[in-house]
Amino acid sequence: MHYKILVTLSLALSLCAMGWSQDKADSPKFKPYPGKESSGKEVAMKDKDATTTNTDKTRPTDANTGQATFLDSLTEFSAPANKSLKAHPPTSGKEPMLLLGPKNKPMIDVVVHTYKLDFYDCQGVVAPWFREVLVAELNYFSEISKIPMVDGVLCLVSVANENHLTPGRINVNFFSSNKDMTTCTTGKFCLTYRSVSMILKGNKVFRQYFISDIGKNVISQNCVTDKGKWYKNSTCYTVEE
């Protein structure tokens, strides 16, 4: 009689122990995953850092969707140029003035490579509205210097490489013919040179116009600020605003 009671009691205790051990082994499945809240905070911080980084990398050429021009303040009675003043370029647009990628370089293939410069097609780099501004102002300076004007179709963007005195400098170059474009970009004899340098002044972009004609012994330099103020016979490097 006592033996049966002991066997029954032992069997009951064994079953209870087995059930308790199974519950203990499965219990972690119902616990919340650790660090879930902190993980969310880390994602938020990453997003915040990414936003800050993107803001810090914003360049003047990316932010500028408008550039004033001095041409609107001139009339045919106040300036010797008549034909060029007929142009009324837009002073703003939806696109940034220059579309550049990493390291301030165009995101298209190089069309001409030289020891100091890399040339790119203006199409897809220079915003159409900004291209009109450059052509209009360039033609005004060309006309008063008695140099043939251009229609702006033949256009190349040059970026100075590490072999140049000013690496990274961006110029927009215009040509009157395919022959001039070939000779001027390959470093050969360039009869007439027309170029606009983008000069950064903090968050501003000034336009430095340089025109030369060897045959007519003409050299013209003019600076135009982002507000459209014209500094005659000056370089943008010496202009402070």
> What's the pLDDT tens digit per position in 185-226?
987 789 999 999 999 998 899 999 999 999 999 999 999 999
pLDDT of residue 180: 92
Residue 12 clears pLDDT 80, i.e. is over it: no
Residue predicted with more confidence, 47 or 225: 225
What number is the average pLDDT over the span 170-193?
Answer: 92
pLDDT of residue 43: 31
What number is the average pLDDT over the span 77-104?
Answer: 82
Residue 58 clears pLDDT 60, i.e. is over it: no
How many Å is the Cα radius of gyration of the chain? 34
pLDDT in tens, 142-163: 999 999 999 999 999 999 999 9
